[in-house]
């Protein structure tokens, strides 16, 4: 499949005083038409398909009036959905028929995750069409019936995926799961300040993180993780409540099922660069913006800052897990790294909880 590198920018309508709509500036997080191998979510483990599929098809439209989505972007969503459907019928089905035992089970789990991906794209495309039809004063009954039908299928497959949570899942492209934020080919990096080093008491949660660090089995030596500008991977615009899934889509999901010890050093280096960019956004942009704002504006920026903290700390923990896996593979002492993971994970959990406490509230970024 030839990579299509076109970027489609979603146009947004002006605010109407009588019925204000919070509109995300999609120029920051354009919806990118990708090859299936670059947005598939089947490799890794079962159980998180809903969040991964949302990161591909739903999150890029957070805060956007879907009636304003242009026809080219809608076509991109539909094209990617069709690619997922083709993978199911042309690749998953024959691969499952030819496999047996654990291999067949992993492929079946991958197929279910792919169904969640496909149906999420289908529902999102229909939601866009409904919004546009309503804006044009057209009848939407047929579209709404179709959404109900597809949502029922989606809910069923999400339940199947969650039932198999933790089990191996295998895709049909040989790649690791990614989304639009994690596979962007932008080459420029954003400068940022480094995190100060600190030590903490080793806890059982650090030991659990240590076990998880190298739990994947797939060889990661050929995986690349391109550095992106902060504006292209930030998650603060939209609404609060989903920062954990969005941050995982940037830093964690692309390496699902991969033995972190086998990754090229450039992966951790590029992740660290992006983590530093998020930290710089917090200190250099969010803090002064919040100080200068008031009322709803300040609240939205504060929610955006919390989401950015989740993003920053998710990157930090993932980089540490890569270092931990490599140290374990080399037989080196890992106590300091495990202490640091425990410390950063505690901060991450606190900020995830804060984000969820404000679920649905407006969130504003600074990029």
Inform me whether the pLDDT recorded for 179 exceeds 80: no
Give the pLDDT mean for 264-289: 92
Whether the per-residue pLDDT at 241 is higher than 90: the answer is yes
With a CB cutoff of 8 Å and minimum separation 6, the contacts of 62 are 24, 237, 238, 239
Q: What is the mean pLDDT of residues 252-263?
A: 90
Average pLDDT of every residue of the chain: 81
pLDDT tens-digit map of 102-154: 999 999 999 999 999 999 999 999 999 999 999 999 999 999 999 999 999 99
DSSP one-letter code for 179: -
Q: Where are the domains of the chain?
A: 1-17+28-180, 186-367
Which of 40-54, 181-195, 259-273, 305-319 is predicted least confidently?
Answer: 181-195
Q: Cβ(326)–Cβ(269) under 8 Å?
A: no
141 vs 194 pLDDT, higher one: 141
**333-337 long-range CB contacts below 8 Å, 24 or more apart?**
334/210, 335/202, 336/199
Task: Return the minimum-mean-pLDDT range out of 40-44, 214-218, 224-228.
Answer: 214-218
Band (pLDDT 50/70/90 cuts) for residue 20 is very low
pTM here is 0.46
| Residues 317-358 pLDDT 10s | 999 999 999 999 899 888 889 988 998 999 999 999 999 999
């Amino acid at each position: 499949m030839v990579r299509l590198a076109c970027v489609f920018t979603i146009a947004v309508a002006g605010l109407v005083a009588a019925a204000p709509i919070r509109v995300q500036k999609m120029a920051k997080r354009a919806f990118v038409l990708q090859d299936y191998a670059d947005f598939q979510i089947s490799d890794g483990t079962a159980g998180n398909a809903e969040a991964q599929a949302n990161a591909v098809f739903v999150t890029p439209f957070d805060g956007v009036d879907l009636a304003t989505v242009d026809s080219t972007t809608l076509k991109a969503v539909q094209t990617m959905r069709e690619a997922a459907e083709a993978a199911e019928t042309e690749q998953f089905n024959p691969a499952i028929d030819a496999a047996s035992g654990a291999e067949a089970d992993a492929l079946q789990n991958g197929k279910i995750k792919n169904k969640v991906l496909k149906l999420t794209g289908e529902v999102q495309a229909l939601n866009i069409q409904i919004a546009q039809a309503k804006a044009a004063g057209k009848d939407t009954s047929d579209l709404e019936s179709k959404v109900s039908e597809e949502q029922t299928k989606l809910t069923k497959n999400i339940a199947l995926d969650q039932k198999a949570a933790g089990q191996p899942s295998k895709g049909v492209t040989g790649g690791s799961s990614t989304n639009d934020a994690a596979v962007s080919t932008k080459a420029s990096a954003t400068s940022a300040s480094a995190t100060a080093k600190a030590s903490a008491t080793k806890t059982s949660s650090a030991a659990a993180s240590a076990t998880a660090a190298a739990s994947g089995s797939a060889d990661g030596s050929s995986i690349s993780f391109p550095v992106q500008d902060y504006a292209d991977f930030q998650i603060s615009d939209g609404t609060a409540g989903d920062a954990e899934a969005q941050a995982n889509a940037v830093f964690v999901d692309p390496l699902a099922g991969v033995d972190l010890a086998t990754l090229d050093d450039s992966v951790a280096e590029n992740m660290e660069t992006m983590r530093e960019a998020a930290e710089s956004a917090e200190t250099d942009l969010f803090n002064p913006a919040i100080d200068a704002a008031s009322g709803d504006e300040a609240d939205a920026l504060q929610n955006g800052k919390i989401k950015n903290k989740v993003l920053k700390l998710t990157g930090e923990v993932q980089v540490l897990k890569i270092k931990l896996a490599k140290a374990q593979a080399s037989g080196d002492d890992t106590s300091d790294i495990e202490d640091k993971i425990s410390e950063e994970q505690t901060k991450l959990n606190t900020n995830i909880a804060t984000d969820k406490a404000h679920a649905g509230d407006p969130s504003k970024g600074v990029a």
